[in-house]
Amino acid sequence: MPRATPDAAKAAHTKLLRQEAGRWLKAAREAAGLTQAQLSEQVGLRYYTFVSQVESGVGRLPIETQAAWAKTLHLDEADFARTLLAYYEPELHRLLFESDASPSRASA
């Protein structure tokens, strides 16, 4: 099956959300009193430039690293993951956390 052509508006919106996520992460890092290099070291990254890429919206945090970032930034892990999900996967966030459908009604 051929892949759908990327929607330019959707791509622009995704880019904007990643930039907003980056600003949120940068603010959290600064509130924790950490430099990019210190955060990088504490979460086990080889290069601090990854932190820079994430904060600029170029990259995104892999799911498997989110708990380490949350702990290092002194944030609740679940809230941290939920916030990033809202930025990175807004439709999934909406379905999981903003839907009126409960599991019992959905399976009925």
Exposed e or buried b per residue across 7-43, where buried means at least 16 C-beta atoms within 10 angstroms of its C-beta = eeeeeeebeebbeebbebbbebbeeeebebeebbeeb
Tokens of 67: 């708990």
Say if residues 105 and 97 touch (Cβ distance below 8 Å): no
- With 80 as the cut, is the pLDDT of residue 20 above it? yes
Domain CATH number, residue 53: 1.10.260.40
What does the pLDDT look like over 68-89, one tens digit per residue? Answer: 999 999 999 999 999 999 999 9
What does the pLDDT look like over 29-58, one tens digit per residue? Answer: 999 999 999 999 999 999 999 999 999 999
pTM of the model: 0.82
Q: Bigger pLDDT: 99 or 66?
A: 66
Q: Is residue 3 part of a domain?
A: no
Q: Is residue 50 part of a domain?
A: yes
CA 5 to chain centre: 25
- Which domain, by its residues, includes 41? 14-99
